Amino acid sequence: MRISIKQRQKLADKTWEAMNKAFPEAECTLDADLPERLAIRGILSAQCTDERVNITARELFELYPDMEAIRAAGEEKIGEIIRPCGLYRSKAKATVTFAELFCGKWGHEVPKDVNELMTCPGVGKKIANLIIGEIYAIPAVVVDTHCKRVMYRIGITDNHEPLKVEKDLCRFFPEQTWISLGHKAVMLGRTSCRAVKPACDSCPLGAFCLKRI
């Protein structure tokens, strides 16, 4: 089914109105305290639930409360703690590298620049967007698996590749909605637009979603 630009824009407008009404207080579900800790949680979140990340991160920061301590601990010790998050070897390397950059090149500040953040292994566009949005309130869309799925099903994008989905969303949604948009899409994906057996009948977007399952 071909969808015109005008139709997609109408879908986007209806989508924002419906999601904003259904999930007015949707926010990042990763714990947020210090900016650098949020960044580490973002690294740990790859292919892992936010709930698991929050539990594991609390254990990590109890033992190693700052980036200097994480850097000094090294990958092996960090890896043992974060093992429950999966992919622990690559995540341990990314975590320690982030701590090294933070303590060294970055001068104990989390960069505001997406490209600079992405020089750290384990920090892709999704996590970089999360960091600048949550820490610095710089408009950016976080496209995770939920966001990709629901935006395709609604009909706003024909793409499944995150960067292309992000480009489409930035085109059809106002900049001031970008940060919140990703969080609301996650809530929709968790409550109604699930990957398996989506609850279309009770979905707040059911009246206009194209339901491209």
- pLDDT for position 2: 78
**Same domain for 39 and 89?**
yes
3-state DSSP call for residue 26? coil
Query: Quick check: is 208 in a domain?
Result: no
Tokens linked to 6: 């005008």
The C-alpha atoms of residue 131 and residue 116 are separated, in whole angstroms, by 12
DSSP single-letter state for residue 135: H
**Same domain for 132 and 43?**
yes
Query: Quick check: is 152 in a domain?
Result: yes
The C-alpha atoms of residue 213 and residue 124 are separated, in whole angstroms, by 27
pLDDT digits (tens, 9 = 90+) for 117-130: 999 999 999 999 99
* Final residue before a domain boundary, out of 113, 136, 159: 136
Query: Quick check: is 210 in a domain?
Result: no
Q: Among all chains, which residue has been given the structure tokens 């600079």? A: 116
The C-alpha atoms of residue 100 and residue 108 are separated, in whole angstroms, by 10
**Same domain for 154 and 87?**
no
Nearest CA-CA partner of 67 in 42, 31, 90, 34: 34
3-state DSSP call for residue 16? helix
The dihedrals phi and psi of 40, each to the nearest 5 degrees, come to -65, -45
CB 90 within 8 A of CB 101: no
**Same domain for 108 and 189?**
no
The C-alpha atoms of residue 110 and residue 107 are separated, in whole angstroms, by 8
The C-alpha atoms of residue 89 and residue 202 are separated, in whole angstroms, by 41
**Domain coverage including residue 18:** 5-27+141-202
Q: Among all chains, which residue has been given the structure tokens 């398996």? A: 196
- pLDDT for position 103: 98
Other Cβ atoms within 10 Å of 115 Cβ, number? 9
pTM (predicted TM-score): 0.91
* Final residue before a domain boundary, out of 136, 166, 189: 136
* Residue 48 CB partners (closer than 8 Å, separation 6+): 85, 86, 87
- pLDDT for position 1: 66
What's the domain count of the chain? 2
Pick out the chain residues at pLDDT < 50: none
* Final residue before a domain boundary, out of 104, 136, 168: 136
